[in-house]
Amino acid sequence: MISPFPLSELERRTSGQRFGKDVLVERISLDSRDASGALFVAIKGERLDGHNYIADAVSAGCSAVVSERPEGHLAIGLRVKDSVEALGHAGAINREAFNGCVVALTGSAGKTTTKNMLASVLARRAPVTATKANHNNEIGVPLTLLDISSNAQFAVIEMGARHLGDIRYLGQFVQPDIAVVLNAGSAHLGEFGSYENIVKAKGELYGCLRAGGTAVMNLDDIATEQWVAEASHRTMFSFSVNDKDADLSARNIDCLAEGSRFDICYRGEKQAVFVPLPGRHNVSNALAASAVAILTGMSLEEIADGLALAEPTSGRMKKLRLETGSLLFDDSYNANPVSMKAALDVLALQAGTRIAVLGEMAELGDKAKAMHLDVAEYAKTLGIDELYCVGSFAQEMALIFGEGAMSYDSKDALAASLKHSLNGVETVLVKGSRSAGMEDVVTFLSGGLH
């Protein structure tokens, strides 16, 4: 946190009921084991209810408690209608004390990779606070805002969504100076109900911009035309892999197995760039990061230096060398049809026998089967050599792919069969939705080394 704030300020913002003295909030904790000197916010989650640990937090020496329930035995605290929302308001208090630049980004695919690229680039200029791991939801975003310190000059906030209104809700706390929407795809289609709702949900971010803020637009996404219309009263900055008339564009693209080389072009200037993350989609992600960096005043040379240092996150196209000598791409963290095809594009660039190990893609609604079969057909058209499938549509995917495809009833059976067949000349891609748990396959193949 940048500076302490009085509990009464959180009371005002939440319309809560404070009891006891007005203490200064110096830090916030959701964990009763780490509550000493902190404001303990009791949140009911899917597995645990923080209200059941209030006594432990008090014993640990917390300064006060935020609770949704009457806690008459407590001397100091704040009763609120919604503890998660109270956490959001606490994050907003710290964000409003921040004098640096806040960048918010969302999209159906590429959020974390772009966030990492941008943090790498901005760090060439000044200290950066960025979303950790997958903290991009109604709890993770406020915690990231609270993590902004006084020495930071940039804050990069990744924002996810499963429903209409989620981005708007988070945006009221983030209040970005720069907003980036990477794309709109079919992720969480079952939750949103339609592609049109996904477009609306992602576009909500532009409405959250602070006065004088800038909307960064991807001209390559078909939804951008709608977003441009909705953000017409905002300053806009565009990027594109395909449209040379964008404010920022890429030329001379060379997609290699180990990454991509290309030129970033801006206002007549050109800078050669190498991004050590393979795939044409990562050229687009790099342009998004570059657009933000340009808006903050960085030079193209500084941007190139930062992009060259970008690293993959565990579970997102992270390279592992197996004992056999085979190369494994661990992209097991999550999947949707867009990201699945992008990962297959990367696999197609690799040497040796190319094996796609695909788990199920979740939350696709009544289009799930068609989208899984489409992915199998896409893998076939790319010339992928072998396809290992597990999940509800595995058999149908194998039939679509044809020779070289195998389907399994369990991840264990798939992993055992695949490991037995590897001889060191293969490149293996492992990918699936979070619920598919394909990291278990990675762990088995790699002997637990991630």
Q: What is the pLDDT of residue 450?
A: 45
Coil, strand or helix: which one is 220?
coil
Query: In sequence order, which residues have a C-beta less than 8 Å from that of residue 68 and are 6 or more positions away?
Result: 42, 44, 51, 79, 80, 81, 82, 83
Secondary element (H or E) of residue 187: none
Domain 98-308: give its CATH code.
3.40.1190.10
Strand locations in 7-47 (E): 17-19, 24-25, 28-29, 39-41
Compute the average pLDDT of residues 57-66: 96
Rounded to whole angstroms, the Cα distance separating 349 from 255 reads: 8
pLDDT over 80 at 72, yes or no:
no
**CB 32 within 8 Å of CB 60:** yes
Decide the pairing of beta strands 235-240 and 5-6: unpaired
Neighbours of 127 (CB within 10 A): 13
Domain 318-446: give its CATH code.
3.90.190.20
Q: What is the pLDDT of residue 363?
A: 86
pTM of the model: 0.88
Rounded to whole angstroms, the Cα distance separating 44 from 4 reads: 25
User: What phi and psi, each to the nearest 5 degrees, are found at residue 327?
Assistant: -95, 135
Q: What is the pLDDT of residue 315?
A: 74
pLDDT tens profile 96-105: 999 999 999 9
Coil, strand or helix: which one is 124?
coil
Query: Which residue in 342, 341, 320, 344 sits closest to 330, CA to CA?
Result: 320
Reported confidence tier of residue 37, pLDDT bands at 50, 70, 90: very high
pLDDT over 70 at 292, yes or no:
yes
Neighbours of 241 (CB within 10 A): 20
Cβ burial 183-209 (10 Å sphere, 16+ → b, else e): bbbbbbbebbeebebbbbbbbbbbebb
DSSP state of 209: P
Where in the chain are the domains? Answer: 5-81, 98-308, 318-446
Query: Which residue in 169, 161, 155, 167 sits closest to 122, CA to CA?
Result: 155
Rounded to whole angstroms, the Cα distance separating 6 from 332 reads: 43
pLDDT tens profile 208-252: 999 999 999 999 999 999 999 888 899 999 999 999 899 999 999
Query: In sequence order, which residues have a C-beta less than 8 Å from that of residue 12 and are 6 or more positions away?
Result: none
Q: What is the dihedral of CA 258, 113, 291, 121, to 10 degrees?
A: -80
- Considering the segment(s) 5-81 as one domain, its CATH architecture is 3-Layer(aba) Sandwich (3.40)
Q: What is the pLDDT of residue 349?
A: 94
